[in-house]
Amino acid sequence: MCAIAGILNLAAAPAPTEAALRRMLAMVRHRGPDEFGVLLAPQVALGNARLSIVDLTGGQQPITNEDGTLWIVFNGEIFNHVELRAELEARGHRFTTHCDTEVVLHLFEEHGPDCLQRLNGQFAIAIWDQRDRSLFLARDRVGVRPLFYTQAANQFIFASEIKSILAVSPVAAKIDPVALEEIFTYWSPLAPRSAFRGIPEVPPGHYLVAKAGKISVRAYWQLEFAEPAAEKSATEYEEEFHHLLTDATRIRLRADVPVGAYLSGGLDSSLIAALVRQLGVSRLDTFSIAFDDQKFDESQFQREMAAFLGSEHQVVQATHADIGNIFPAVTWHTEVPVLRTAPGPMFLLSKLVRDRGLKVVLSGEGADEFLGGYDIFKEAKIRRFWARQPDSQCRPRLLARLYPDIAALQTAGPAYLKAFFGHGLTATDAADYSHAIRWRNNRRNCRLFAPDFAAAIAAQQNGGSAGPGCPASFQQWGELQRAQYLEISVFLSQYLLAAQGDRVAMAHSVEGRHPFLDVRVMEFCNRLPARFKLRGLTDKFLLRQVGRKYLPEKIWRRRKRPYRAPIHRSFFHATTPDYVRELLSESAVAAAGIFNPVAIRQLVAKLESGRAVGEADDMAVMGVLSTQLVHRQFVQAFRAAEPLAAADPVKVCRLG
Amino acid sequence: MNHTKEIRDFIITNFIFGDAAALQDKDDTSFLDSGIIDSTGMLELVMFLEQTYDIKIEPEEMVPENLDSVNKVAQFLSRKLAKTAGAA
């Protein structure tokens, strides 16, 4: 696990330099603290910063093939590398290391871009092909690992993190107004945008080829939810799922370092940890966050589960003030404004893992998306039920029962329930039916934009964001599956695995691994009939059936608890951090030119007054504050780190 | 007594976060249709009315007819205050 970076000349130009690569890699030491490698060729330079996990002594990058015509730098893990290596060796390929990176290279040598179909893992790949002078970049199917690029002054520059690109790009960063509209609506930019103009990502499930001055991007995998004609029995589904999830966990334990597990106290991570135990791992380190605020704390469940597993359980305590204090460090790593609160606690959690000497953890991401765990899936189901009798008084009451923590809904009469959830009620064929209310509510915070900024959005093609695209087969999928597609492509890939996942884990050199995102598990779940995922209003039905075998009843029956910390308490309390006052001041807001200073003044006044503040206002302050931070850190005052020094262990390879 | 201006000011400062111009000549605009207020916002409005005017609003009174625009709130408030004054 690592960072990659590189520069390719698209037209005749001086060769990219070692100094440039040393600047790029120095920005991402946190992703790869152990050793570095650089390939220098007349037209291209590639670099890698390594977090050594497989083949600790032998796997330094860049790695080349038998005749030096292919060179790879790689960020990620290929969990089926053992099996793939055996096949390749049988076909005559010769290996010089024991690491999975080399397997990718030889598989590419054998199959070209089709090699991606064989990979079961999480990755960002860059391969230089000396034979036809082409650069091949690829990203895993759902975007666990990041990969960005830009084209400037006849150069193609790519990197795991945008900060590496900014360290060498002749073009300074600028916030993309449409990306910000998307962040305020969808909680993240939509693929392929990043927060910055002209710096897109290679989308999940895609590869990019740069050759003869031209760039092309193609998909190699898509989310597909077509249900097979013939259904299997419940027992068959359960056995197959059990087998696949266990094997996905087994191969994610492959490492030359210890592997720990995150334990949230919920069903998903508890099951993964239980499977690890069941696979015969003798010592399991588990890690959790505990909150001072009792309303959000799940320590009791975490402790019980850890005791049940007999794990070495380690906990980091998070106060509201802690979250406020680390927030600037968090945005430096996320490289994007965030409207959700979890990246902060996840940042603290990875620090704990690092402090305890571990580099790898398993976690439960993906179960809610692929097995129908979220409330939004139930909400869509209830709304469709209500839409069949729009004047029903009792059908909308189901929504109040779905959200027992939202006080207003419990007292609201049918008229208000209709007003809040009934918008577009009967437009059940709309592609975004399941998510329209969430996105409409989120979008309210776009009113905070400064008039010029809002005008810049409106001036774009489509008058702003085109919204998430859907594949041709979308309308043929079932209703639950359509909602899942949106949640996976928008929420999971663009936000959860990025800002809340990879970025804040790698901030402390910790690699997360996700058994639920094993390609076989994802494809199995996508073929499941809906009722094995959402049965009535019971979510993750099949997962709970498997969970019964391993977990205490209290855990496998647990209702999902969304993390809804009152974020404003992290920023407006007895000792509000200085940066908060400074960045939300009228002068700072006016200078950045993104938000309306009058609006922000009123928002801040409301938050400081202690009057009741809802989720929308929490998101508003997070959105504004994190945008101001990102603007300060990347646009206004970007500072490159000291380049890699002579003392850093850098392997330099030269070509031609 | 007409409380329209106070109510309008509260809506603008507490929900719209913008210039007073945003709600000018729009005292009949539906809060819900325009997305100005969400479910928690409704409770904030109720709390503001109860605390500022020393009244008690019953759950069955929390309906759009009473609360969904500046004018509706003003009229609802006048009726409540008249009733309280009458009872005193």
pLDDT digits (tens, 9 = 90+) for A550-568: 999 988 888 887 766 667 8
- What is the number of other CB atoms lying within 10 angstroms of the CB of residue A152? 15
pLDDT of residue A246: 98
State whether A42 and A172 are in the same domain.
yes
Asked if the Cβ–Cβ distance from B63 to A407 is below 8 Å, we say no
- How many residues make up chain B in this entry? 88
User: A413 to chain B: which residues are within 8 Å by CB?
Assistant: 59-60, 62-63
Q: Is the pLDDT of residue B88 over 60?
A: no
A624 part of contact set with chain B, CB < 8 Å: no
Task: Report the CATH superfamily, name and number, of domain B4-83.
Answer: ACP-like (1.10.1200.10)
A334-350, pLDDT tens digit by residue?
A: 999 999 888 999 999 99
Q: Give the H or E element holding residue A10.
A: none
Question: CB of A76 within 8 A of CB of A54?
Answer: no
What's residue A564's pLDDT?
62
Q: Which residues of A touch B23 (CB under 8 A)?
A: none
Q: How many CB atoms lie within 10 A of CB A597?
A: 17
At residue A165, what is the residue type?
Answer: I
- The maximal CA–CA distance of chain A, rounded, in angstroms, is 76
Task: Looking at the structure, tell me whether residues A351 and A421 fall in a common domain.
Answer: no
For residue A201, give the 3-state DSSP assignment. strand
Judged by a CB distance cut-off of 8 A, whether residue B20 touches chain A is no
CA A179 – CA A488 distance, rounded (Å)? 19
**Residue B19: predicted pLDDT:** 61
Shared-domain flag, residues A126 and A7: yes
A380 touches A538 (CB < 8 A): no
User: Which sequence spans correspond to the domains of chain B?
Assistant: 4-83
Q: How far apart are the C-alpha atoms of B45 and A444, rounded to whole Å?
A: 17
* Same domain (yes/no): A35, A183: yes
Query: A612 falls in which pLDDT band (50, 70, 90)?
Result: low
CA R_g for chain B: 13
Nearest-Cα residue of chain B relative to residue A610: B44
Q: Kindly tell me if the per-residue pLDDT of A379 is higher than 60.
A: yes
Domain-embedded: residue A656: no
Contact status, residue A600 vs residue A589, Cβ threshold 8 Å: yes
Mean pLDDT of A293-300: 85
Which residues of B, range 45-64, sit inside 8 Å of A by Cβ?
A: 47, 59-60, 62-64
Residue where a domain stops, chosen among A530, A556, A582: A556
Terminal CA-to-CA distance of chain A, rounded, Å?
28
Task: Give the residue on B whose Cα is nearest the Cα of A438.
Answer: B38
Q: Could you give the angle at which helices A479-486 and A375-387 cross, rounded to 10 degrees?
A: 140
Between strands A285-291 and A259-262, the pairing is: parallel
Residues of A in contact with B13 (CB under 8 A): 602, 605-606
**In chain A, which residue's Cα lies nearest the Cα of B39?**
A408
Give long-range contacts, CB 8 A cutoff, 24+ apart: A291-296: A291/A317, A291/A318, A291/A319, A291/A345, A291/A565, A292/A317, A292/A318, A292/A319, A292/A320, A293/A319, A293/A320, A293/A565, A293/A566, A293/A569, A296/A563, A296/A564, A296/A565
Write the CATH number for A365: 3.40.50.620
Flag whether pLDDT at B66 surpasses 90: yes
Nearest by Cα to B43 from A295, A407, A399: A407
- CATH code of the domain covering residue A30: 3.60.20.10
**Does any domain span residue A452?**
no
> Do A596 and A448 touch, CB atoms closer than 8 A?
yes
* A38 Cβ contact partners less than 8 Å away, ≥ 6 residues apart: A18, A21, A22, A25, A45, A46, A47, A48, A62, A650, A651, A652, A653
For the record, the structure tokens of A156 come out as 């193609």
From the centroid of its chain, how far is CA A154? 31
Q: Model confidence over A404-440: pLDDT tens digits?
A: 877 778 877 777 888 888 889 999 999 999 999 999 9
Single out the residue of A48, A56, A9, A20 nearest to residue A32, CA to CA: A48
Per-residue model confidence (pLDDT) at position A565: 64
pLDDT beyond 80 at A617: yes
Determine whether the interchain pair B38/A444 forms a contact, defined as Cβ–Cβ distance below 8 Å.
Answer: yes
Higher pLDDT, A513 or A557: A513
CB-CB under 8 Å, B18 with A596: yes
**Does B34 reach chain A within 8 Å, measured CB to CB?**
no
How much is the pLDDT for A324?
Answer: 92
Q: Say yes or no: A447 contacts chain B, CB-CB below 8 A.
A: yes
Query: What domain count does chain A have?
Result: 4
If asked whether residues A100 and A201 sit together in one domain, one would say yes
pLDDT value at A592 more than 60: yes
> In the A/B pair of chains, how many CB contacts fall below 8 A?
82
Helix (H, G, I), strand (E, B) or coil at A120: coil
**Are the beta carbons of B39 and A444 separated by less than 8 Å?**
no
Residues A398 and A296 in one domain: no
User: Contact, A503 vs A334, CB < 8 A?
Assistant: yes
**Across the strands, what pairs with A513?**
A362
Q: What's the pLDDT at A402? A: 87
Chain A: give the shortest CA distance to residue B48, in Å: 9
Would an 8 Å CB–CB cutoff place A153 in contact with chain B?
no
As a whole number, the mean pLDDT across chain A is 94
Each as own residue / partner, the long-range contacts of residues A478-481 (CB below 8 Å, 24 or more positions apart, any chain) are: A478/A225, A478/A227, A478/A530, A479/A380, A479/A381, A479/A384, A479/A433, A479/A434, A479/A530, A480/A372, A480/A377, A480/A380, A480/A381, A480/A530, A480/A533, A480/A534, A481/A225, A481/A227, A481/A526, A481/A530
- Using the 3D structure, point to which of A556, A581, A604 is the last residue of a domain: A556
> Are the beta carbons of A207 and A201 closer than 8 angstroms?
no
Where does a domain end: A535, A556, A577? A556
Distance of CA A298 to the CA centre of its chain: 23
Distance CA B50, CA B47 (A): 5
Looking at the structure, do residues A280 and A324 belong to the same domain, yes or no? Answer: yes
- B27 close contact with A: CB closer than 8 A: no
Q: Is residue A523 part of a domain?
A: yes
Q: A9 in helix, strand or coil?
A: strand
Regarding whether A325 and A212 lie in a shared domain, the answer is: no
Q: Span A197-220, mean pLDDT?
A: 97
Q: Among A37-46, A286-295, A605-614, where is mean pLDDT lowest? A: A605-614
Q: Worst-scoring range by mean pLDDT, A187-196, A345-354, A560-569, A595-604?
A: A560-569
Q: Which of A448, A605, A614 sits opposite B38 (nearest CB)?
A: A614
| Chain B partners within 8 Å of A606 (Cβ) | 13-14, 17
Contact A639, A355 (CB under 8 A): no
Annotate A48-77 with b (16+ C-beta within 10 A) or e (fewer).
bbbbbbbebeebbbbbbbeeeebbbbbbbb
| Residue whose pair of structure tokens reads 């690890």 in the numeric block | A276
Q: Are residues A319 and A201 part of one domain?
A: no
A545 and A629 in a single domain? The answer is no
Determine the structural domain holding residue A50 and report its residue range: 2-221
Prediction pTM value:
0.95
Please report which confidence band the pLDDT of residue A608 belongs to, taking 50, 70 and 90 as the band edges. confident
The total of other beta-carbon atoms located within 10 Å of residue A27's CB is 25
Residue identified by tokens 């953890």 is: A361
Rounded distance, CA A266 to CA A233, Å?
27
Per-residue pLDDT reduced to its tens digit, A94-117: 999 999 999 999 999 999 999 999
Domain membership of residue A457 (yes or no) is: no
Are A406 and B40 a contacting pair at CB < 8 A?
Answer: yes
Q: Are residues A123 and A22 in the same domain?
A: yes
One domain, residues A386 and A251: no
Across the interface, do A444 and B35 touch by the CB < 8 Å criterion? Answer: yes
